[in-house]
Structure 1
Amino acid sequence: MVAGPGLARRSLRHLDEPEWRSRAAAHRCRVARWTVPHRERRRRGEAHPVLDFLFTYYSLRPAQLERWHPGPGIVLRGPSAADFLGQAGYRRHADGVTLDLAALPDRLRSTADFVGALLAATVERAPQLGCFGLHEWAMVYRTETPRHAAVPLRLGAEGTDAVVESLSVRCTHFDAFRFFTPAARPRNAVSPRREDQIHLEQPGCLHATMDLYKWAYKLGPACPSELLADCFELAVAVRELDMRASPYDLADLGFAPVRIETPAGRAEYARAQAGFAERAAPLRARLLALCRQVSDAVSPQRSGERFRADRRDS
């Protein structure tokens, strides 16, 4: 099937096969810094308390992260471009193969609607920088079964509990709050629910910043792999701060602690948090623009349904 006239009217950029193959290879090389060691650890049965999170909590498999997608507005030329035709949304074009947003599954447009609304609400809020990463401490508060049981606590169980009790816990992110221990939940300033996410998400939150990676891959083949990799690299850096500021002793893995139990450590954390919020802002803007592109794309079937509805209303 050749992409329809609606797509042809748009301004498209053409990539010859050597160029797009080079971009695909560069993307694989870029993310291999993390995917290759992760595979090697899995073969050895070795856990990594910091980096495994990027492949376990986040559901994109290493092979999927390594797969390159051009995103919308690109025509791939050359014989090998036909290899993309087996994937959702790709269509033949007069000059090669392109991603047709209107041909993507309706579920992806629904995802784009939600993610776009979430990102648009987030960008309107000022970053909150006073949480100091206490969500990780709240996940081990007064429990005998911490999430990373094989990793020692820097201050021991009693010292860790004392830090939680001496500071204000202010986590606004549901997907962090839901891992709090039962004893820690009443100590939080708010009780986030899934349905509150759009109303509570704010750009200073480390988890909201890491989740840009999740929103990028949830947009599927519509998200250019260069943007996906940008979000992944930021998520890696944020995860490292997240765990350096945690109660765990990760010095043997090369992660120096950010001692948020001290005023100097809290100041260090807030500075890093502000830096990540600044780095995240252009990525959030790019994802928001992409969400709007996907949401606005109307498949021929939906267009026909809309036409028939208009006729009934007239």
Structure 2
Amino acid sequence: MSQILSRAEWEPLEAAHQARVDAATAAHLERRQETVKHPVEDFLFTYYSHRPAQLRRWHPGAGAALEAAERTWKFYAEQDGASYVDLPAFASARGDTVRFVRDLLRATLSRPAHLGCFGLHEWAMVYRLDQTGVRHADWPLRLGGAGTDEVVESHTVRCSHYDAYRFFTPPARPLNTLLPQRDSQVAMEQPGCLHAGMDVYKWAYKLTPVVPSDLVMDCFDLAREIRLLDMQAAPYDLTELGVEPVRIETPEGKADYVRRQRAFADRGRTLRERLLEVCDDVLVTAVS
């Protein structure tokens, strides 16, 4: 333990975090209760496995102890009336995961951002499908089936993210100029990829509780904003939800997409660097 926070110090931090999470998840929880789907925001809670209740738990991260907190959660320990994250226990149990995340973050940070994909992965996921077969079948395709297929066929598809590529339709897969695989993720992931930017949130919550909750929420906020662009640039017509399209089939839409993609890559770099510091601290503990 390097820092002991009194109850008067840590309780306001916990309350602020809970309020931040409540504001970010309220609409999703209300829709869930009413069994209403949302093609943009549901992704943060369905594709990613971290539930709102888990996100709401506040963790100070490794190196801080909470006086009179009585934490009984996994990877916490008690000493002199204070609860703290047991870093050696976490490193022993989750070391392989930490090493993978460390290697992935470091490799991604070492590469320049590729900004010419224009979100075509979402178009490739519906390529040559009829409306009933698309993932978000309740929402029409902006350009119709034939228009959507034409956009895919008239562009170079260059998706480097395996978890996007694996949802391509069979006729779309040969059109991709890359062949991402699960075992090539570290070798291929690049910081301009929207899905890689959203996944920083996944790597942050997978390392709970050694990652401070403010960092997890910063990653969540970035993922949420990226997801909006992801679906604005997708082939669906979501204007009923107030989601205005980024028309990547036009020069203006492409320019808008690249501008926002570059800004997300810059923000993702900062978050990856912060998360990489946590990974390094865990792994130093693991070998000491």
Category of TM-score, reference length = shorter chain? over 0.9
CA distance in 1, matches of 2:236, 2:209: 37
Select the residue among 87, 90, 100 that pairs with 1:101: 87
Instruction: Tell me by how many angstroms 1:103 deviates.
Output: 1.8
How much does 1:71 deviate? 0.2
1:186 aligns with 2:174: yes
- The 8 Å contact of residues 98 and 207 in structure 2, kept in 1 or not, is answered as yes
Q: CA deviation at 1:262?
A: 0.4
CA contact (8 A) 2:120 2:152 kept: yes
Matches within 5 A, 1:156-175: 156-175=144-163
1:91 paired residue among 51, 54, 77:
77
Q: Give CA-to-partner distance per residue, 1:45-84, whole Å, 9 cap, x none.
A: 1000000000000000110011110101111113xx11x1
Out of 225, 231, 235, the residue aligned to residue 247 of structure 1 is 235
Aligned-pair CA distance for 1:88: 2.0
Task: Kindly indicate whether residue 7 of structure 2 is the aligned counterpart of residue 21 of structure 1.
Answer: no
Q: 1:115-264 to 2 correspondence within 5 Å? A: 115-144=101-130, 145-264=133-252
Total equivalences in the alignment:
286
The percent identity for this pair of structures is: 55
Deviation at 1:105, TM superposition (A): 6.1
> Cα offset for 1:95?
5.6
| Cα distance in 2, alignment partners of residues 160 and 207 from structure 1 | 21
Q: Secondary structure of the residue that 1:221 maps to in structure 2?
A: coil
Q: Which residue of 2 aligns with 1:294?
A: 282
- Summarize the Cα distance change of 1:105–1:293 in structure 2 as closer, same or farther, 3 Å threshold: closer
**In structure 2, how many angstroms separate the alpha carbons of the residues matched to 1:57 and 1:274?**
24
Q: How does 1:14-93 map to 2 (within 5 A)?
A: 14-78=4-68, 81-82=69-70, 84=71, 86-93=72-79
The answer to whether the 8 Å contact 1:129/1:204 transfers is yes
Q: Which amino acid aligns with 1:178?
A: R
CA distance in 1, matches of 2:231, 2:18: 26
When Rg is computed on C-alpha atoms for both structures, the one with the higher figure is 1
Shift of 1:31: 1.7
List per-residue Cα deviations over 1:139-182 (Å, max 9, x = no partner): 00001200100011111111000000000000000000000000
Q: Which whole-Å CA distance do the structure 2 matches of 1:106 and 1:269 have between them?
A: 42
Structure 2: how far apart are the matches of 1:179 and 1:33?
Answer: 31
TM-score, length basis structure 1: 0.89
* Structure 2 residues without counterparts, runs of 5 or longer: none
Letter in 2 for 1:127: A
Query: Which 5+ residue runs of structure 1 have no aligned equivalent?
Result: 1-6, 304-314
Deviation at 1:292, TM superposition (A): 1.1
Q: Which runs of 4+ in 1 moved over 6 A?
A: none
